[in-house]
Structure 1
């Protein structure tokens, strides 16, 4: 199964809500960082191969028809070239709000320190975190990086292949872009800062052990799926 939709927006741009939305309108399953976690013992080595310059995109996305979030969004350019028929969705938000949300969740010292010495952190350092170098705590630099990232996607992907999408706009722009009917249900809104922070706070961050990480991710996906269309 080749990818049909590539989500270029970084984490904390409603990528989890977009994952559930894409699945709901027929573009599922949708890959997301939490899918890396849910099958960590298989997926982390595959992403480490990407870091090492040996990507096997078909193996990584086997069984998936769309993708959002880290670490895949780091490789939006490569994926757009590898899957030339796929459409690209760039989820966006205010740059300063993005930095604040990242600092409270996926970039927080609590979250990253819980993974110290793990294969997962090594993979993250080679993919997502490598974009920032030593600047991850510099709010202004990060906001400017985010603006430049979005501009590069917009300047690179042809306009007829790209949707710049703020999930607060709901179903209509996404469904129009993908040429599918608009669902009657409200657009899913999940994975707020409080939900992710609370889930990780219960255990002091993310589990570094792959087996425990898989169990955490499975439960987290199920919990958010229940909330998605409640």
Structure 2
């Protein structure tokens, strides 16, 4: 059974209507995760870019649009699909297609912004581009290994087969977005991030520098704070301090909260499944004895 068939049948998500754009996309934050993406999201919301989409939304928003993000990942990283007939050596995702998941947003950051950076830049040519980075590459690498890789537990993969939300969290991120972004088409995100993380980080940042005209690009780190960000966007500097969110401890807390909910649901479904299988096995045994 293919992944596509599993998605459409066993783990099918409730219908999520395509979103409709009412305001233009204005800011694309295309830096990798663990580069101050949530702080940047909160800052942009404070500056009036409401709503600014973050990678958390892929896990938290209701209804879930995870299946649509997987479809977009298949469009870009076609090696991740079993349908070899679509291989044509190119990828073009239109603004209308992005709007189906981002139509309610005027800015985007984190996973969506980095994984689909080149496609978003082409789809929304009038948007300003922020390349959010960590200037200390070692600190960035250690952070992604402790957070993104640290949550990849094989037991959770097994349990995800008994919880739709957990399945899609694993599927959309660790099998598609991170695996493909870090050049692990076999779906082993751990090996991709830890094995390729550094050079892919540098390659991605250099790609953005080459794609975007200097007057439309801001290279920014969270330590830079409000002033360069507001100058670039033509906004007044807020009186409040620049937000600092999603530290490693905060990241773990959010994931732990989700995991508790999902694990509870998974265990319940596992027990129900085992009870059904046991009852069925007992019934078959009795019938066979009677025969």
Which band: TM-score by shorter chain? 0.7 to 0.9
Deviations 1:119-176 (A, max 9, x none): 23222222232122143223xx412221121111112111111100011111000000
- When Rg is computed on C-alpha atoms for both structures, the one with the higher figure is 2
**How does 1:7-26 map onto structure 2 within 5 Å?**
7-26=29-48
1:46 pairs, out of 68, 72, 94, with 68
**How does 1:122-161 map onto structure 2 within 5 Å?**
122-124=171-173, 125-132=175-182, 133=184, 134-138=191-195, 141-161=196-216
1:107 pairs, out of 149, 157, 163, with 149
Given the superposition, is the C-alpha separation of residues 162 and 208 from structure 1 closer, same or farther in structure 2, using an over 3 Å criterion? farther
Q: TM-score, normalised by structure 2?
A: 0.65
Distance of 2:118 and 2:153 partners within structure 1: 28
2:121 pairs, out of 80, 91, 115, with 80
Q: TM-score, normalised by structure 1?
A: 0.82
- Aligned counterpart, 1:37: 59
- Aligned counterpart, 1:60: 101
| Consecutive unaligned residues in structure 2, runs of 5 or more | 1-22, 77-92, 162-166, 185-190, 266-291
RMSD: 2.4
1:119 aligns with 2:168: yes
Given the superposition, is the C-alpha separation of residues 166 and 182 from structure 1 closer, same or farther in structure 2, using an over 3 Å criterion? same
Distance of 2:126 and 2:132 partners within structure 1: 19
| Consecutive unaligned residues in structure 1, runs of 5 or more | 211-230
Distance of 1:82 and 1:113 partners within structure 2: 39
Q: Is the 8 A contact 2:31 2:113 kept in 1?
A: no
Aligned residues: 208
Give, in angstroms, the shift of residue 208 of structure 1: 7.3
Given the superposition, is the C-alpha separation of residues 171 and 96 from structure 1 closer, same or farther in structure 2, using an over 3 Å criterion? same
